[in-house]
Amino acid sequence: MSPRKARLLRFSLRPLALAIPIALAGAPVLFLSNPALAAEQTRRYDIPAGPLAIRLNQFAAQAGIYLAGDAALTAEKRSQPLKGEFGIEQALAILLGGSGLEALRTQEGRYELRSQAQASGTMSLDAMTVVDNQLGTITENTKSYTPGVIASATKLVLTPRETPQTVTVMTRQHMDDFSLTSIDQVMDHTPGITRTTYDTERSMYFARGFPITNYQYDGIPIQNNTEYSSGNTLSDMIVYDRVEVIKGASGLTTGAGSPGATLNLVRKKPTAHLAGHVSARAGRWDNYRSEFDISNALNESGTIRGRMVAAYQNQQWFMDRYKKNNLAYYGILEMDLTPDTLLTLGYDSNRTQPTGSSWGGTPIFDSANKRIHTSRSYNPATNWSSWEQYNHSFFTQLDHNFANGWVTRAYYTYQVNGYSAQLGSSLYGPDVDTGKATWYGGLWRGKTRSNAGELYASGPFELFGREHELVVGASYYRNHWKGRGYNSFSGTTDYYDWSGDVQKPQAGSVNYRNDELTNQRAVYATARFKPTDDLAVILGGRVTNYHLTGDNESRDSGVVTPFAGVVYDLNDNYSLYASYTKIFLPAANHDVNGGILSPNKGDSYEAGVKGEWFNGRLNASLAYFEIREDNRAVYSGYDNTRNWYLYEAKKAKTKGFELELTGELLPGWNIQTGYTHKIIRQDDTNQKLSTQEPEDLFKLYTTYRLPGMLNKLTIGGGAEYHGHTWTQNTTDYDYNHVTIRQGAYTLFNLMSKYQFTNKLSATLNVSNLFDRHYYTNIGQGTSNTRAYGEPRNMMLTTRWDF
């Protein structure tokens, strides 16, 4: 197994959530902040012989060390048993006995795995670790913009180069460098992703011309309630190690869903040594935020580890009278039940409480159908308008490593997403003669309870004298959304002298209810065959039973979603790849007869070339993609009697390409950049669809740590080019269809970081440097409102690591 085919193996600490309360209760807590002391300290171990990579992972977790190395070094090798009380270096020597390998301790107190035959030089990995060998590389503390390995696309743990699909990963380092504290901000930085805002509380993300409705948490699918916005797009990044974006259809791992992309939010893990940070941030518009994150072992042997994080943010905004409080916290506990069995328990919560929430954007037309000109700070909402959202999640998983290299995982999560929205906002423009406008309001409350579980196993098998990989599993999720709406209300005010100061009305009685239950069950399998050293073929399939009850009832049983991919290594740095899968997206749109459209089905293709350099620290990809839809829902009108939007099922074809480059170009120089071009056309008319997202999108973000005497300073920045967009479905004041356009625009951002000491740093971020005026919504869907993008903004962050 040559180094170019080996995925980087990153061993380390299994990460605290409950360390402080347990420590105060009297439980012994181990502090390993001194590398020299950690190397000399002895502990008792009981690790049986087995596959070397697995046993080194277990040892690193128990010992509380960072251990990095190339997976090729451990391939097909077994460890010696380790039983008794040993120091770290003595224990490593025993585990590696007879393997021809050694672990070299660096000046930073980390350990690097190398062959004893190496005369000099070792890998210079910044503590890149695999804490979870079924989700991929933990990116925290790696100082890297690349993930090492990922598993979200196929359930196989592969490097980006080995994955026959485009996967973009926003690492912890990228998020920290640019002070990205919300999922909205992360998506703004992600190559190939466009963000549209409906109002102050709702965002929608688009990839390859399709809305992203597929969300995963730690690889487990959870349904997103887009219309009523229940916290999915308000996720606080304090909880997460990274965000993975799987481009294209992902029916193999998700089941029913949009063919544009899937978001997988991977939570932070606890460590077996004391680690964490506190930070304080202050920004424009009285934006203040504080964070606390601590992790440690909870017993002397390190077999119980925990982590606790919390963030509180109080902010105003560029829109008048808008304020928001956000509270997020997260706790996780890991317990080694045996050297081969790991139990994880966790809980996270996020709640936002805004006032001055707009409902839709700012009106575009007045009563004479002329464009309305207002400042970016104009807020059409009443002072009491509020759209509170929250989500709470409990999750647990049980992992077991077998001696033959197979790994099993059982995962369960329970999540509650809710909203309470009493809204009032000027949805329509003023009368040109009087300047008066009508504001509308209402009250909506509801929550979605989600139960999701998954059981799968992965491991190697031999066929025709060669080793291959297999994943088999079953998944289930159940989402129950119950909501209610109350009688609406309205009033009249002076539009151009609007202060939002109107009497808050009583909600009245309930006038309609929502009750939708979604059940999805599936079984799946994926196999990666290696006919030669240079060729890998991935074949898989998923069989799904889907049932949605309620007004939009839909049922599909035995839906087969096949997946096929091939990767061929041209040399040490380049690979050709191609993949194919089917689309399955149940419809929830009404046709002209009042029925529900048939599910959108079709085919998704992708092919291209990938590159990898510096042991995976720099990755590149060039992909051509094509998506063929059989039943795309295309807007056709509005039913005033039934109060429904009407759609027709049309055949459509999406074509485009994506170019991405991510990683370390030179020591200290990180970059993440991408260019996407896409066009969607309706087959029968050749009309362009999904034009509210740009056909051309370019993003570049980079940081550079200065060398020599200036190495305490890091500088960086970014640029985003958004091509021109337009919409033809928007209506004017008299409900006539009109076309609204926005020209192309470019945004620039800057950052700088100064590392005062090894623990204390300060970072300044400036976004929209030249204060460019632009819209994030120009009549999304069929609305006649728009939303401004954020003006120039600055954020100063001070951080203390321990």
Closest listed residue to residue 623, CA positions, set 577, 681, 573: 577
CATH number at residue 351: 2.40.170.20
For the record, the structure tokens of 484 come out as 């209610």
Q: Is residue 27 part of a domain?
A: no
Instruction: Give the whole-angstrom CA distance, residue 64 versus residue 110.
Output: 10
The predicted pLDDT at position 108 comes to 53
Q: What is the DSSP string of 106-128?
A: PTTS-EEEEETT--S------S-
Q: What 3-state class would DSSP assign to 253?
A: helix
Q: Is residue 240 part of a domain?
A: no
Q: Which domain holds residue 55?
A: 41-116
Query: Which residues, in sequence order, are CB contacts of 635 under 8 Å at separation 6+?
Result: 645, 646, 647, 729, 781, 782
Instruction: Tell me which amino acid residue 98 is.
Output: G
Q: Is residue 53 part of a domain?
A: yes
**Regions of the chain where pLDDT drops below 70:** 1-41, 64, 70-72, 76, 107-109, 116-133, 223-232, 643, 780-783
**How many folded domains does the chain comprise?**
2
Q: What 3-state class would DSSP assign to 37?
A: helix
Q: Is residue 253 part of a domain?
A: no
Eight-state DSSP code of residue 30 = -
- Most distant CA pair in the chain, distance: 90
For the record, the structure tokens of 624 come out as 């051509």
Domain endpoint, select from 86, 116, 146: 116
CATH number at residue 81: 3.55.50.30
CB-neighbour burial class of residue 703 (10 A; exposed 0-12, middle 13-18, buried 19+) = buried
* pTM: predicted TM-score of the whole model, two decimal places: 0.85
Instruction: Tell me which amino acid residue 690 is.
Output: S
Instruction: Give the whole-angstrom CA distance, residue 127 versus residue 108.
Output: 10
Q: Is residue 351 part of a domain?
A: yes
Instruction: Give the whole-angstrom CA distance, residue 197 versus residue 698.
Output: 19
For the record, the structure tokens of 633 come out as 């829902």
Whose structure tokens read 């740009």?
694
The predicted pLDDT at position 782 comes to 54
Q: Is residue 194 part of a domain?
A: no
Instruction: Give the whole-angstrom CA distance, residue 86 versus residue 66.
Output: 17
Q: How far apart are the first and last CA of the chain?
A: 39
Instruction: Tell me which amino acid residue 679 is.
Output: I
Domain endpoint, select from 95, 116, 137: 116
Backbone phi and psi for residue 177, each to the nearest 5 degrees, phi listed first: -60, -40
**Could you read off the pLDDT of 156-193 as tens digits, one per residue?**
888 899 999 999 999 999 999 999 999 999 999 999 99
Domain endpoint, select from 50, 84, 116: 116
Cβ(156)–Cβ(624) under 8 Å?
Answer: no
**Could you read off the pLDDT of 668-685 as tens digits, one per residue?**
999 999 999 999 999 888
- Of all helices (H) and strands (E), which one includes residue 62? helix 52-63
Closest listed residue to residue 343, CA positions, set 314, 305, 382, 375: 305
**Planar angle of CA 169, 688, 735, nearest 5 degrees:** 110
Q: Is residue 160 part of a domain?
A: no
Q: What 3-state class would DSSP assign to 57?
A: helix
Residues in the chain: 802
- Of all helices (H) and strands (E), which one includes residue 740? strand 740-742
Instruction: Give the whole-angstrom CA distance, residue 241 versus residue 599.
Output: 35
Backbone phi and psi for residue 778, each to the nearest 5 degrees, phi listed first: -125, 65
The predicted pLDDT at position 227 comes to 59
For the record, the structure tokens of 687 come out as 């009309």
**Planar angle of CA 184, 190, 191, nearest 5 degrees:** 145
Query: Which residues, in sequence order, are CB contacts of 735 under 8 Å at separation 6+?
Result: none
The predicted pLDDT at position 593 comes to 77
Helix count and strand count (H, E) for the chain:
8, 45
For the record, the structure tokens of 600 come out as 């959108």
Q: Is residue 340 part of a domain?
A: yes
The predicted pLDDT at position 133 comes to 55
